[in-house]
Structure formats: structure tokens, C-alpha cells
Amino acid sequence: MLFRSPHIYEMWYSATHTSPELLNDTVYGLPEIYRTEIKPASLVANPGCYPTSVILAMAPLMKTDLIYKDSIIADSKSGISGAGRTTDINFQFAECNEGTRAYSIGVHRHIPEIEQELGILSGKDVKISFTPHLIPMTRGVLSTIYVNLREVPKTGYLIEIYNEFYKDEPFVRLMEEGKSADTHNVIISNYCDIGIKVDERTKRVVLTSAIDNLVKGASGQAVQNMNILCGFREDMGLDTPGIFP
């Protein structure tokens, strides 16, 4: 993660930023947005898993005037490994199995990271409603994002915008019309799958975004950044499809 303002970091993490002098030399490590800046960088900050899923799903729309950018609602669900290898009682099998719960509603530490990057993409400050959920599976993140539309295009039109935006990206896959993203299809891969659906009745677009929180949401993205920094083929060590079916 990278907070471009040490004040924002200190406010959300309740800790003093120990190296603010490094911020100007640090690049946010989301290759689909910052590849050019990553290549010559001396310090790259790897994004969080929730921000990766939400930012990649929203980026093409933030560059347009098709949406109300103050209406973004992101509902994200993560496998238990997103909490790390901890002995906290809340993440024990008997506590998590056969149950789903929301947590950190409105106060999750990934909120300012998402808002910061969406704001940069749109050219103005952005605030979102973000609610994460813990679901009883080992790994994976699925984000469902709802955004009000200024006008109501057909789903196919938005898919065309996304295909153009991500046409050269090796790890972003756009779902066909009528299909949504599924964590099954990205597990143990570095892919982010994005589904798009215009709900004409409510004048909203509904986006689904799936990643493996331990790969594209963590170590895989770090390897992708390393490959760019070192001049290696970007998919080196990462050209593995999901394991389903």
C-alpha cells in the first residue's frame, strides 16, 4: 500500500509514519495503471488485495463521465487467508466455518487506499462505501461494486470500453456479457476477472471482480512488479491458469 499523505496513514492506522521522506520516490505497484512509473522506480508499494479488486474493476469508468463518482458502493468478500496466519479466535475453523460476516464497516484500512487511487484516476476527490466480508473459504476475493449511471448504455457498450482499456494487459480478463466473475476461475493465478452488467431498471452498473488474494492480491503482484523492474517478461513465473474446473 502507499498513502501519498503521511497524515492519511497516521489517521487510519493510528501510528506515526516513520519514513515520509520516501513517499515522493515511491510508486503504487498496480502495473495496469502505473507500469511506466514502476519500470524506473527505486521503491514500489504493493497494493492491498481489496484495493486491487476494486480499483481494477473501477478504473475504466473513472476515466469517463458515464457514472456518478460519488455513488460507488463496494461489497467485498475474502477468504480467511486474507487475515494472515494468526491465532486470533475469530479466524479459527469452528468460528468461521458455515458462517459469513461483515466487519470493519466504514472503517476498514483499505478505504483510503481505494479512494486515493480512484481519485487520481478521476481527477477529483472520491469517497466510497466499502464493506468487507469474511467467508468460509481458504483464499480468493470477490468484489461486487454498484455505481449509479448518468445515462444508461447497454452492457455491451461498457464491455467495449473495458476491452479497449485492458487490451494489452496480460492479467486482466473481461467476462462475456451475461457472465460474472468467479473466484473459482482465478485461484492460484495472477488473474483479475471482471464482469459487467448494466441494470437498466435501477440505472446502475454492477461490476464483479475476482482475484486470488494471495497471488494478484499479494505475492503474485509483487512478482509482476519485480519482473517489470528487472526487465523480465512480465508474466515470468506467473503464467499459470486458475485450477478450476
Looking at 33-122, which runs of residues are DSSP E strands?
43-45, 73-78, 101-102
Q: What angle do CA 124, 125, 127 make, to 5 degrees?
A: 140
* DSSP annotation of 123: T
Contact in structure between 120 and 61 (CB atoms under 8 Å): no
49 in catalytic set: yes
Contact 102, 132 (CB under 8 A): yes
- The separation between CA 180 and the C-alpha centre of its own chain, rounded to angstroms, equals 16
Tell me the sheet residues that pair with 12.
none
Q: Say how far apart CA 46 and CA 28 lie, in whole Å.
A: 7
DSSP 8-state class, residue 67: B
Question: Do 148 and 68 touch, CB atoms closer than 8 A?
Answer: yes
Active-site pick, 49, 96, 192, 230: 49
Preceding amide of 112 cis, omega within 30: no
Return the SS3 of 64: coil
Catalytic residues: 49
